[in-house]
Amino acid sequence: MAIEIQAPMPGSIVEILVNVGDEVSEDDELLILEAMKMENPICAPSEGVVKEIRVKEKDVVEVDQVLVILE
């Protein structure tokens, strides 16, 4: 079952820490989202495999935008 990880707030993508096909565990950092001059790690809510990354570094994202899909 696919799990969509969404942006909790508007901001910009500073760094992507995973690649498609990577296995991740619960609480692993997937990417860093900068919002209000703070770097916020976006973590995996559960274990899975990275199926799709829908953003690139330096992208500006909106709240609830899908960032990563885990399977």
* pLDDT (tens digit per residue) in 37-50: 999 999 999 999 99
**pLDDT at residue 1 tops 90:** no
Structural domain containing residue 22? 3-70
CATH of the domain at 20: 2.40.50.100
In angstroms, the CA 35 to CA 20 distance is 25
In angstroms, the CA 69 to CA 36 distance is 25
**pTM check: above 0.75:** yes
List, for residues 20-40, the tens digit of each pLDDT value: 999 999 999 999 999 999 999
Model confidence at 14, in pLDDT bands (50, 70, 90)?
very high
Number of domains in the chain: 1
